[in-house]
Amino acid sequence: MTNLSVNLNKIALIRNSRGNDFPNVIEFAKKFIELGVNGITVHPRLDERHIKRRDVLDLAELLKDYPDVELNVEGYPSRDYIQLIQDIRPDQCTIVPDSINQLTSDHGWDIKKEKVFIKETIGLIKKAGCRASIFVDPDIKQIKLVPETGADRIELYTESFAALFGSSLSDKVFNKYKASAEAAQEMGIGVNAGHDLNLKNLPKFLEIDGILEVSIGHALTVECIEFGMKEVVKRYLGICSNKNR
């Protein structure tokens, strides 16, 4: 079974667009938890364009009442990010190589180039008692360097899989992700995945064995508008449990 972690960034973005506290991020987290999701993901950025530091602190407090639901905090490992991690000690930290001006995450780490920095960052994360994950492209050469960083998991950046899903190149790109996941697993590294996964393409992606967690936010939020939260979460949980594949 694959765990479903719902990314709340888009809920926060909608809230921020009106300058008040509606929709309330914490109340939506509760709704998703009550529908059975396994985790909550947030990706705070330095400009707080969606998730704010206060949201992360409040979610960490909320999830103390839900020990079976994990909190995954993504982000570029700035000094502020590391301090936040040390303050709240989430279940999982996923480090992402974002710049402050990036619209959204669009590439994985160059581990060969940034290995010293990544290794130091992973050390700080694990010292705080958190599971450490690295956001990566489906590049076996890069993935083979992950054990040297001390990371527990990788998160495969799935944009290219999603962009080419259903095209003539779909099988080729799927096999690239499959080989990348298998390479990580052979080295004892757990595999998560996320970015542009949705109800249509997730069943195919999860034909890859051993995906531990998928983090989904943008598509899931849009699908909830179209089909309703209860129905959408039910469908995702079915796919993740292999019932609807």
Just list the catalytic residues.
43, 74, 195
Q: Are 230 and 222 in contact (CB under 8 A)?
A: no
Q: Regarding beta strands 211-216 and 70-75, do their DSSP bridges make them parallel or antiparallel, or are they unpaired?
A: unpaired
Q: What is the C-alpha to C-alpha distance for residues 104 and 217, in angstroms, rounded to an integer?
A: 12
Residue with tokens 């499959």: 178
For the four alpha carbons of 162, 78, 123 and 85, in that order, the dihedral sign comes to negative
Q: What is the C-alpha to C-alpha distance for residues 83 and 78, in angstroms, rounded to an integer?
A: 9
Q: Which residues make Cβ contacts (< 8 Å) with residue 150, sequence separation at least 6?
A: 119, 122, 123, 126, 132
Q: Are 160 and 173 in contact (CB under 8 A)?
A: yes
- Strand partners for 135: 155
Q: What is the C-alpha to C-alpha distance for residues 50 and 32, in angstroms, rounded to an integer?
A: 18
Q: What is the C-alpha to C-alpha distance for residues 63 and 67, in angstroms, rounded to an integer?
A: 7
Q: Which residues make Cβ contacts (< 8 Å) with residue 157, sequence separation at least 6?
A: 105, 107, 108, 135, 136, 137, 138, 194, 195
The one-letter amino acid code at 138 reads P
Residue with tokens 């570029």: 76
